Structure 1
Amino acid sequence: MAVGRAGWARSQPCALALAAALAVCAFYYLGGGGETFSTATRRLRATPASPARRGRALHLLVLFTKAERGPSLRDKARAALRSLLRHGRLGRGDALRLHLVTDRNSRDIAEGLLRDELGRAAFPHQVITHDVNELTEKLFPIVEAMQKHFSAGTGTYYSDSIFFLSVAMHRIMPPEITQIIQVDLDLKYKANIRDLFEEFDSFKEGAVIGIAREMQPVYRHTFWQYRRENPKTRVGEPPPDGLPGFNSGVLLLNLEAMRRSKLYNQLLEPAMVQKLTEKYRFKGHLGDQDFFTMVGMEHPELFHVLDCTWNRQLCTWWKDHGYSDVFDQYFRCDGEVKIYHGNCNTPIPED
């Protein structure tokens, strides 16, 4: 499933024009039991694992809001869910716990879609919905200071606190949830979702978040002033030796590690955000992605870098907007694609 944060808008300004129609906010909690995380929680469907079999709870989070404004959003969500179910193979005792963060109007749309598709699931699953306004109230005091640095402006799509949910997820989720994956809706799965959860096992000591590199020169552009003042910097340079920044279409959040990390929690403080934005001359508009990118320039040890095949971004906007000479250095991705990301509303290849 894909986190409907309108991931196609993550990597390029062109997507900002889609904001009003594609605003997405979904948070899914799947699992057994009867846990509730907010007063708005509603159980849609549950096929809990047998108590005799102890497996892994696979927490997957998706944002799905304002869906009534953009019918195409439903099509993207349906395609993402179908591909996830088609390739999903869970281990004995595993259960998918799907968290849906949504608003009142979008909830009915989501419930209908999930009822239609989850009947095909060959594994235990549970869906719990959460009211986006309740989560926003919890998030706002934590992320208010950083919004002015990583949002396009008051009243715009990424200015909403909910688009910083991943940044403070460890303070919102109950402590029994130790790991969660947040995904955009404009994804197509070509591999088993359980394999992505196994990436948590490869985190090095001190790493708290798994994330793939940005595959366009968007941060070469955003850090232009810092790069001009520091001509030998790796900031904004392409891989494998440069620091191209991150794309948050697929996020592995080790909530337990995030809670324990003194460094990560210090970086959430307004004074630290201000200090880093001033150092890097940074002003972004892509929400959590900008925060993770800036922090990654200063503290790369906090991140487990996913292979590009787990978030194969397809948008080529920057190729036609001033960076054709270096574009392919960022866009190249070798290997068999596991997840396609149709950001910038880019069509995803058919099977």
Structure 2
Amino acid sequence: CKVCVGSGMAVCRSTSRKGDNNCFVSHYSFFLFVLSEITQIIQVDLDLKYKANIRDLFEEFDNFQEGAVIGIAREMQPVYRHTFWQYRRENPQTRVGEPPPDGLPGFNSGVLLLNLEAMRRSKLYNQLLEPGMVQKLTEKYHFKGHLGDQDFFTMVGMEHPELFHVLDCTWNRQLCTWWKDHGYSDVFDQYFRCDGEVKIYHGNCNTPIPED
């Protein structure tokens, strides 16, 4: 379940299920075409703890480069190193699934900035919402995801990073360490490191959030 906050819009909740791409497309089509008077939305998971005023996050929209339609932080575990294993084996020099700063570790959708106006205008983004385009990308990357919108954004980001404004990790400081204990302890810290004062803690996979 997610909460959405937008200028001129009441708080709303998304009940789209993880791994259900049809729900994902319907959910974002509702934002794009039904709520046409709304231009920007911040969508957040419920397992967050705020150390800064979320209103400050709206300033990140001003940092979007031309062509960017979504603001999102990188995934801080090697989950996509694992998920893209077949593509990585066939393309040993790829950046897909590699850790930052030079790799493409994928995205985490716990904190999302949606520039709805830019999303409506973007011919490229709207083409990528077509089922045929999604199928084409899943076949190219041998992708079998289970995290819903996060998987979609990650897969699209591998192909079209220009659509995304990457948020600093301090805006979505993920705490889950599941993959450290499941085969990736040797590289885990390359993904998990986050320097700077945390603005939002994300207690993903039911991880306890530090007390004040």
Q: Under TM normalisation by the shorter chain, which class is it?
A: over 0.9
Where 1:296 maps in the other structure, the secondary structure is: helix
Matched, 1:239 2:107: no
Give, as a single letter, the amino acid of the residue that structure 2 aligns with 1:99.
V
The CA deviation at 1:275 is 1.0
Find the partner of 2:11 among 92, 96, 99: 99
Aligned counterpart, 2:91: 230
CA distance in structure 2 between the aligned counterparts of 1:261 and 1:270, rounded to whole angstroms: 17
The CA deviation at 1:194 is 1.3
Where 1:206 maps in the other structure, the secondary structure is: coil
Matched, 1:348 2:209: yes
**TM-score, length of structure 2 as denominator length:** 0.93
**Could you give the per-residue CA deviations for residues 221-245 of structure 1, whole angstroms, max 9, x where no partner exists?**
0000000000000000000000000
Find the partner of 1:251 among 109, 112, 118: 112
Q: Residue 4 of structure 2 contacts residue 44 of structure 2 at CA under 8 Å; is this kept in 1?
A: no
The CA deviation at 1:168 is 3.3
Mapping 1:57-96, distance limit 5 Å: 57=7
The CA deviation at 1:270 is 1.4
| Distance change in 2, residues 1:192/1:165 (3 Å) | farther
Aligned counterpart, 1:18: none
**Could you give the per-residue CA deviations for residues 303-327 of structure 1, whole angstroms, max 9, x where no partner exists?**
0000000000000000000000000
Aligned counterpart, 1:285: 146
- Percent identity (aligned): 81
Mapping 1:113-262, distance limit 5 Å: 158-159=19-20, 161-163=22-24, 167-262=28-123
Aligned length: 212
The CA deviation at 1:165 is 5.8
Q: Residue 99 of structure 2 contacts residue 190 of structure 2 at CA under 8 Å; is this kept in 1?
A: yes
**TM-score, length of structure 1 as denominator length:** 0.57
| Distance change in 2, residues 1:173/1:287 (3 Å) | same
Matched, 1:330 2:191: yes
User: RCO greater where, 1 or 2, for CA within 8 Å and sep 6 or more?
Assistant: 2
CA distance in structure 1 between the aligned counterparts of 2:80 and 2:137, rounded to whole angstroms: 15
Mapping 1:25-64, distance limit 5 Å: 26=3, 57=7
Give, as a single letter, the amino acid of the residue that structure 1 aligns with 2:11.
H
| Distance change in 2, residues 1:165/1:246 (3 Å) | farther
CA distance in structure 2 between the aligned counterparts of 1:340 and 1:98, rounded to whole angstroms: 24
